[in-house]
Amino acid sequence: EAQVTQNPRYLITVTGKKLTVTCSQNMNHEYMSWYRQDPGLGLRQIYYSMNVEVTDKGDVPEGYKVSRKEKRNFPLILESPSPNQTSLYFCASSFRQGTTGELFFGEGSRLTVL
């Protein structure tokens, strides 16, 4: 089954404790992206990757890091989480950026930073 898998789905952590949210897709997609969803703000792009070893900032990259060492994986790293990073995070992928706009989304990771 074609899917985007995120882990963990739910996480409560404390300020400053490094964490990683993993994302994996099995569709051989070139393009992957991370979004955060906050009430009243919709989805905002954090980082994206056009292909292996190619990453770039989205609209709200501060406080986040990413890497793309393999085509299928695109982890999101919070080196020193803060309460304003409490949010619902989505990983998404598509065959290629922009052409049709059809993104395939994971089920989301709800993060709470105390």
Partner 1 sequence: AQSVTQLDSQVPVFEEAPVELRCNYSSSVSVYLFWYVQYPNQGLQLLLKYLSGSTLVESINGFEAEFNKSQTSFHLRKPSVHISDTAEYFCAVIEGTGRRALTFGSGTRLQVQP
Picking from 18, 6, 12, 85, the residue whose alpha carbon sits closest to that of residue 46 is 85
Q: Which is nearer to partner 1, 3 or 86 (CB)?
A: 3
Residue 101 Cβ vs partner 1, minimum distance, rounded to whole Å: 5
Binding site for partner 1 (CB under 8 A): 4, 33, 35, 40-45, 48, 58, 90, 92, 97-98, 100-103, 105-108
Q: Which is nearer to partner 1, 26 or 80 (CB)?
A: 26
Q: Which is nearer to partner 1, 51 or 105 (CB)?
A: 105
Phi first, then psi, for residue 85 (nearest 5°) are: -95, 5
Helix-strand-coil split of the chain, %, nearest 5:
5, 50, 45
